[in-house]
Structure 1
């Protein structure tokens, strides 16, 4: 007796599942960036901060950053040459202007890839979207830095930067 309803129930379950998945993928509009999947990059970069998606910067920014690890935003984050080469290869292969496009064009709109900043927090789109955050909030004990995305974006490690 329930056989005619079974296909309809399966269709409804499938539609509901895909609606949830697609809705989550679109959460925050253009605020999803494929998270870091490389174990070495995760280990080395995430030991100090969120391992930022390579799609948030063009390859030229990653190359400049990786070329000066002795002065990585005031810290010496040097690694051996093989590790640096592996990290650089991953970051540049998945950078905004190569493999990691997703929503990168929105974040990098109006930025010259050749002279893009190394700090994601200096990108015009980032500045525009975070300009409404009062200065005192950046100094809050749970935030402390503009690069501490996890303080406000709880799913940033999974690539979601909606609030």
Structure 2
């Protein structure tokens, strides 16, 4: 009697594929933040640095940041008011304490939305996750700044920050 190996092999391959995909999605867990999906936000914010996931900061942080684009961490990032309003709306609607809540619970532990930092790198969870990174690594020519997530997290642009 002939064993149906081909259908079994295909079935196992399909199961393995889905296990890999689902495992990848779950592996991010507290290290996954949906990447920016809005093309305007990607273009304007991503032209100078990684367009950070809105779910990495609360709405109050994004609002304060967008209100101070003339001095955006030492640079003038001023935008046309209509474009700035569109970006602000997207960031606030998908912020850690609004639309992006399910991805940011652990990141925002111990952070008051009314007094949240403007820098993701100042969040207690971020500090804890990066405490063992030696100072010399931050100064490496390929890293240069703590905000350069993609230097160490190759899938940062896709929302994955697992090592």
Give the corresponding residue for 2:122.
Answer: 122
After superposition, the C-alpha distances for 1:69-125 in whole angstroms (9 at most, x for unaligned) are: 001111110000100000001101111111112330111111111111010000000
Equivalent residue of 2:91, what SS? helix
Structure 1 runs of 4+ aligned residues shifted over 4 Å read 1-10
**What TM-score, normalized by structure 2, do the two folds share?**
0.92
- Structure 1 stretch 2-11 or stretch 93-102: which is displaced more? 2-11
**What TM-score, normalized by structure 1, do the two folds share?**
0.92
Give the corresponding residue for 1:144.
Answer: 144
Distance in 2 between residues matched to 1:162 and 1:155, nearest whole Å: 8
Structure 2 residue 62 is matched with structure 1 residue 65: no
Distance in 1 between residues matched to 2:3 and 2:37, nearest whole Å: 43
For the aligned residues, what is the CA RMSD?
1.8
Whether the aligned pair in 2 keeps the contact of 1:150 and 1:156 (CA below 8 Å) is: yes
Count of equivalent residues: 163
* CA-CA distance at 1:58 after TM superposition: 0.6
Distance in 2 between residues matched to 1:76 and 1:41, nearest whole Å: 17
Whether the aligned pair in 2 keeps the contact of 1:34 and 1:102 (CA below 8 Å) is: no
Whether the aligned pair in 2 keeps the contact of 1:111 and 1:123 (CA below 8 Å) is: yes
Give the corresponding residue for 1:91.
Answer: 91
* CA-CA distance at 1:2 after TM superposition: 7.5
Equivalent residue of 1:106, what SS? coil
5+ residue gaps in structure 2? none
5+ residue gaps in structure 1? none
